[in-house]
A and B are shown apart, each in its own frame.
Chain A
Amino acid sequence: MVEKRFTAGKLLIYLILVLLCATIVIAFWHLLNLSLSPSHIATKGGLLLYPKEATLDNYSRVIDNRYIWLGYKNTLIRTIVGTVLQLFFTAMGAYVLSKRFFPHRTFWTLFIVFTMFFSGGLIPTYLLVKNLGLLDTYAAMILPGFISAYNMVIIRNYFQSMPEEIEESCLIDGAGRFRIFLQFVLPLSKPILATVALWLVVGHWNSWFDVLIYIQDDTKFTLQIVLRRIILTGSKEILDTSAAANAAEMEKAVSSEGLKAACIYVTTLPILCAYPFVQKFFVKGIMIGSLKG
């Protein structure tokens, strides 16, 4: 099947694919150059294909901003705590539902799956979080979406494919269900748990709406919200908070465009670094997701 011959049609296909990738690569490359540009080049604009008069002023300004660091801290807290807890409880629910002999299993599955298709909506959920006194807490970033019915069904399907006989022999040996779950089922399900964990990590890292509505305290803002504010309010926030003695002179070196670009890179750097290595796990994950039933 391997044809080495380059026909016109094939050339066209290669060209279109290169163009598609070019729009993505150039967009990021341009933004990188913008973030490395001094004020007079960044404000002039246009497409920057190479770094002209490269400077790290924008970055040093962004790094000086304490909200970026607070954002990193808060994003890391919610990502780590959220992912670990959510994964554990999702798997626990999935384990129970994977047992065919669990009473009213069909009812409980429907009870949970129903929440995938219908919800109270924005306002009732907001009022609940508010009435529970969770506004301005990390819990507000983790609890409202704590267990996803979708993830639970996917993990349950994996558990169901594991032979019950081995568990039964453990039971005879005197191990309880919970211990079997911890010491036997979880370690054997690493592939599916890793996949779901990756989804949760990316979800937390990119999540912004919950912080926007539930968190007023700016020391609890996550990276996405810090970035959103900088993009919306311009660079004012960064320029104001860094108590530069000579603000006017500093403003000459950096520009709103350059600062925003630098912020985008600082906040997305972890994703860009990890992406090439974890990409294939996500591709596997999408196949798991499509093979349920």
Chain B
Amino acid sequence: MTGIGARVPQRQSAFRRGLHSFAGYRKYSALTLMFIPVVAYFIIFKYIPMGGIAIAFENYKIKEGIFGSAWCGLDNFNKAFAMATFRRSVWNTLTISGLKLLFGFPMPIILALMLNEVTHVRFKKTVQTISYLPHFLSWVVLAGMFQQLLSPNNGAVNAVLRDVFGVKDSIYFLGNNKYFRGTLIVTDIWKNVGWSSILYLATISGIDPELYEAATVDGASRWQCTRYITIPSLVSTIVIMLILSIGSIMDAGFDQVFNLYNSAVYQTGDIIDTYVYRYGLGDMKYALATAVGLFKNVIAFVLVVGTNLITRRISGEGIW
């Protein structure tokens, strides 16, 4: 690019360049004015709470505030790690997320592949409309529904299990540690499988139809088309989605767990987020809860940024 006669940019000192770029704010004063409320919002509601993390390292007293309370180093973290209930919540978070990943991740892919086989357009549209619906309801509403449906006394699910499948003892899905995680995973799939299939369906619809035509001419069966054309075309989407879900493994689903759990199933269902809520806002142990929250957020941050870098490398462009 640099041939004879190419303009050599004038050297400027870093200081002058800095001044020059700050002059831009005056030059584009209207844009600057428009941007001020936005930046102010992010400073007040996002960055000031980040400063509030200091509580995690303090012997925080409400009366003395953030600036008056004494520092205590890592005491709050040590205290948290000494608590069996905290270690349990970390374990539960990882287990529930892991199980959701293991059972929940493949489901939308399978659903998309099945929907792709449907040749009746109206049937396909109906299945899509119905299966997307639960995604739009809050876990408050769905928890109300599942409490009724899964009730051990007069719930519909236990009635069906008894009358159709001959299960004798009714199952307390939401109150028994043996079943609680399973219930979380199944209800999570039920809510999200349809919605999560959209991305895969879109990828499938982007596949060149000529590939299928050529394969059919060569005598490929429907299954062979799926196996050798559709699935390979989905691989990059699958890999990206998988990496992204690994990035959010610290989120086991606060809304779901919080609305479905009760003290009988803390042993298998209490996750970090519900733990922070109960200790922090319930028992007003602000410092301890902030420390636990920080512990979670730092791990989540490293995971998300790490997985983003990996997807960026794979797909050529990151998720942001």
Q: Which residues on A are within 8 Å of B, measured CB to CB?
A: 1-4, 7, 9-10, 13-14, 16-17, 20-21, 23-25, 27, 30-31, 34, 43-48, 89, 92-93, 95-96, 99, 101-104, 108, 111-113, 115-128, 143-144, 146-147, 153, 176-178, 181, 202, 205-209, 213, 224-225, 227-228, 231, 257, 260-261, 263-264, 267-268, 271, 275-276, 279, 282-283, 286-287, 290, 292-293
The answer to whether B52 touches A127 (Cβ under 8 A) is yes
In the complex, which residues of chain A have a beta carbon less than 8 angstroms from the beta carbon of B296?
A: 121
Q: Among B223, B259, B296, find the residue whose CB has the most chain A CB atoms closer than 10 A.
A: B259
Write out, one digit per residue, whether chain B residues 41-83 have a CB within 8 A of any chain A CB (1) or not (0): 1101111111111010000000000100000000000000000
The answer to whether A206 touches B290 (Cβ under 8 A) is no
Q: Among A101, A116, A119, A125, find the residue whose CB has the most chain B CB atoms closer than 10 A.
A: A119
Known: A27-B145, A123-B289. 11 other contacts (CB 8 A): A1-B209, A13-B118, A23-B190, A96-B38, A121-B53, A122-B281, A123-B286, A206-B137, A228-B144, A231-B144, A292-B319
The 8 Å CB contact of B30, one of A17, A115, A176, A202, is: A176
**Contact of A92 with B45 at beta-carbon distance under 8 Å, contacts A118-B301, A206-B137 already known:** no
The answer to whether B119 touches A4 (Cβ under 8 A) is yes
Complex: how many Å from CA A40 to CA B126? Answer: 35
State how many residues of chain B have any CB contact under 8 Å with chain A: 96
In the complex, which residues of chain A have a beta carbon less than 8 angstroms from the beta carbon of B130?
A: 21, 24-25
In the complex, which residues of chain A have a beta carbon less than 8 angstroms from the beta carbon of B136?
A: 202, 206, 271, 275, 282
Q: How far, in Å, is B44 (CB) from chain A's closest CB? A: 8
The answer to whether A283 touches B156 (Cβ under 8 A) is no
Residue of chain B at shortest CB distance from A283: B198
In the complex, which residues of chain A have a beta carbon less than 8 angstroms from the beta carbon of B118?
A: 13-14, 17
In the complex, which residues of chain A have a beta carbon less than 8 angstroms from the beta carbon of B145?
A: 27, 31, 264
**Total inter-chain residue pairs, C-beta < 8 Å:** 251
Can you spell out 7 A-B residue pairs with CB atoms less than 8 angstroms apart?
Answer: A46-B156, A89-B37, A103-B22, A111-B42, A177-B28, A263-B144, A279-B132
Where chain A touches its partner, the secondary structure class is helix
Residue of chain A at shortest CB distance from B281: A213
Q: How far, in Å, is A81 (CB) from chain B's closest CB? A: 16
Residue of chain B at shortest CB distance from A42: B154
In the complex, which residues of chain A have a beta carbon less than 8 angstroms from the beta carbon of B132?
A: 279, 282-283
**Contact of A124 with B55 at beta-carbon distance under 8 Å, contacts A43-B154, A101-B24, A208-B140 already known:** yes
Complex: how many Å from CA A122 to CA B223? Answer: 49
Interface residue B179 (Cβ < 8 Å from any Cβ of A): no
The 8 Å CB contact of B119, one of A2, A95, A104, A283, is: A2
Complex: how many Å from CA A181 to CA B316? Answer: 32
Q: Among A116, A143, A147, find the residue whose CB has the most chain B CB atoms closer than 10 A.
A: A147
